[in-house]
Structure 1
Amino acid sequence: MSADKRIPVTEERFRELGDLKGAGETYDELLAELIEEHKKRRLLRDMKQIEDESEFVPLDEA
């Protein structure tokens, strides 16, 4: 796979990404995994916020 885009990062961030990357894993694969984890955390956070801030009625009363 050829690289289509370049993402500038600091040396520190590049080292941190390298520490997270598994043997044989590409940076593209690592970033895809990090994005999926972030999406899941965001969904759970949003669901928790809705649960905390909303009023619900039992289904049998709806």
Structure 2
Amino acid sequence: MSASECSTKRIPVRPSTWEELYELREPGQTFDQVLSDMVAREKRRRLFEDADRKMRDGHFVELE
């Protein structure tokens, strides 16, 4: 990440949350990378959850 892309933000978290976040880091990984990965996984999870809900509700039509 370049200096122009970087800004310092403070996000208050409980000490236990900080420890869990710290434990998720791979060697050399930044907290920005950890959080970005978490956001990407959550977006993917929500996409699949939404698709599953639409399939259950009959919003998709099977193609032949």
Equivalent position of 2:21 in the other structure: 17
Note the 1:14-53 alignment, pairs <5 A: 14-53=18-57
Distance 1:41 1:58, change over 3 A: closer
Mapped pair 1:54 → 2:49: no
Q: Higher Cα Rg: structure 1 or 2?
A: 1
Moved over 6 A (4+): none
Identity of aligned residues (%): 33
Deviation (angstroms), 1:54: 1.7
Give me the TM-score of the superposition, normalised by structure 1.
0.83
Matched positions, count? 60
Given residue 53 of structure 1, which amino acid in structure 2 is its aligned partner? D
Distance 1:58 1:9, change over 3 A: closer
Distance 1:36 1:56, change over 3 A: closer
**What's the C-alpha RMSD, in Å, of the aligned pairs?**
1.9
Contact 2:25 2:34 in 1 (8 A): yes
